[in-house]
Every structure is written in structure tokens, then in C-alpha cells.
Amino acid sequence: MRELFEEGLGPSPLDPEEAARNSARTGQRKRFYARAGVREAPEGFAILLDDKPVRTPSRNLLAAPVREIAAIIAAEWQAQQDLINPMTMPMTRLANSVIDAVAGHVDAVVEDIAKYFGSDLLFYRAGHPEALVAREAAHWDPVLFWAAETLGAHFILSEGIVHVRQPDQAIAVARAALPSDPWAAGALHVATTLTGSALLALALMRGRLDADAVWAAAHVDEDWNSEQWGVDEEVAVRRAARMADFRAAAAVLAVQTKPFG
């Protein structure tokens, strides 16, 4: 099992796109077990294959902090057919990354998320056409208003791609809202990198937007271009793979940050 996922971790285990590329290069192995299950353990809820515990690529026990997450991981293993395909197991890949790479390094992961507050997707707006300008505002402005009202983070907008320096105070208060739990931090990092927006990820974590609304907001420009010029099939395939990783991260945030819901 180790060989199935160790390439998927790669040098940057919390980069889901790099993990997906590495997983695609890893040969698939035959399914060797009859059933997948969950058992409570000191580390949380461990994943079992035929009553034997699963290990991460770094040989840690594959265990989730809550049964809901463990059940999703076990279901991914149970759903495998003759061959085990890591590409169809986003929650397992996320769990491996959290256990092996985030635990013990939460501060570094949180700092990486916080960098997005200096150049978040939501800050850079189209100047034309008017319909796109209006669509960006409809999806993005409510999140910015929420950040200002709830967090006290007042950010500056810019037209086009010219960088604008954000206020240190806004970045600081937004940074203070980030989680210290490794599972929440790991999931938030994945949501941030996939959407290009720490603010959208934070709004998801705090329950301001649901997963569908966040995903739509992250793809306003892409969807606009598709409407004008048609859908690129290769882009659509990559987007579907990214969505699976995003859904796994959203599921973790939903159970790890329930007080915010």
C-alpha cells in the first residue's frame, strides 16, 4: 500500500494538483483485500483492510479524528475494483498528507495559507465587459463584506492584474482566524490552493458559503470564458479531478469546524 501513495505525496504533499499528477504516474496495484472498515484507536478512527490497519507512506497509522471522515476513507477503499486507483481516493490522499506532512508543521501550513491574503483572487477584478464585472461582484463582494464585518479585515480591490499592497492590519486579523487543528489546516490549505482564495476557503470553513457556492465563486472567470468560447474538454477533466479534492477538503472542514457552522 505504501507504494500506491508515496509518489502521490511528492515534495509538496498539500498541492493536490501535483499529488494528482504523481499519482497518475504511479502504477496501480491489484486489490488484495475483501473488505474495508473502521475501528476506534488511540490515534482516532483507524482504517482497516480485512481487520489489518492501513499505514500512510511514512508508516503512520491511517486514522481520522472523527468517524465521519474515517467512514469516507473506508468507503473509498471499499469502492476499489480489481485495481486500486489512488486518483479515485481523494480523502485517503488528503489524510495521508495531513498525517505525514501537516501534523507537527501546522504553523508553516497556516503561514502558507496566510500568504494568499496579500494577493487573493477576490481582489483583482475585470474592467470589462460589464456582465463579467457584475458577475464577479455578485459572487465575490459578499465574501469581502463578510470579512470586513465579521473579522474586521478591510481589503483593497484592484482592476486588472496590477498588484496592490493590502493593509497589514487586514492580513493580521484574517490570519488570526485560521485554524490550529492539523486536519482543519490541511483541508483549508487544499481549499485555498484549489480556489486561489484564502477568503473563499475561510468563508467555507466558517459556514458563510457552502461548497457549491465557493466552487462557483472560484470559477467565475473560467465559466464566463466557457460560455463565450465553449468548453475545453481537457480543462473540464482537470477541473473534475480538482473538484474531487475540493469536496474532500470541504467534507473535512464541515466536521472539524462544526462550531462555526
Question: Regarding predicted confidence, which is higher, 12 or 54?
Answer: 54
pLDDT of residue 5: 54
Domain boundaries, given as residue ranges, for the chain: 2-102, 106-260
26 Ramachandran zone, left/alpha/beta (phi>0; psi -120 to 50): beta
Q: What's the CATH number for 106-260?
A: 1.10.3580.10
Q: In the numeric block, which cell numbers belong to residue 22?
A: 504523481
pLDDT of residue 256: 77
| Angle at 210 (CA atoms; ends 119, 17), nearest 5 degrees | 55
What does pTM read for this prediction?
0.89
Domains 2-102 and 106-260 share a fold: no
pLDDT band at 106 (very low <50, low <70, confident <90, very high): very high
Question: Regarding predicted confidence, which is higher, 66 or 27?
Answer: 66
Q: In the numeric block, which cell numbers belong to residue 140?
A: 465575490
Please state the CATH superfamily assignment of the domain spanning residues 2-102 in this structure.
ATP12-like (3.30.2180.10)
Residue 10 has pLDDT above 80, yes or no: no
pLDDT of residue 162: 86
Which residue has 468548453 as its cell numbers?
231
Averaged over 232-256, what is the pLDDT? Answer: 93
Q: How far apart are CA 170 and CA 18, in angstroms?
A: 31
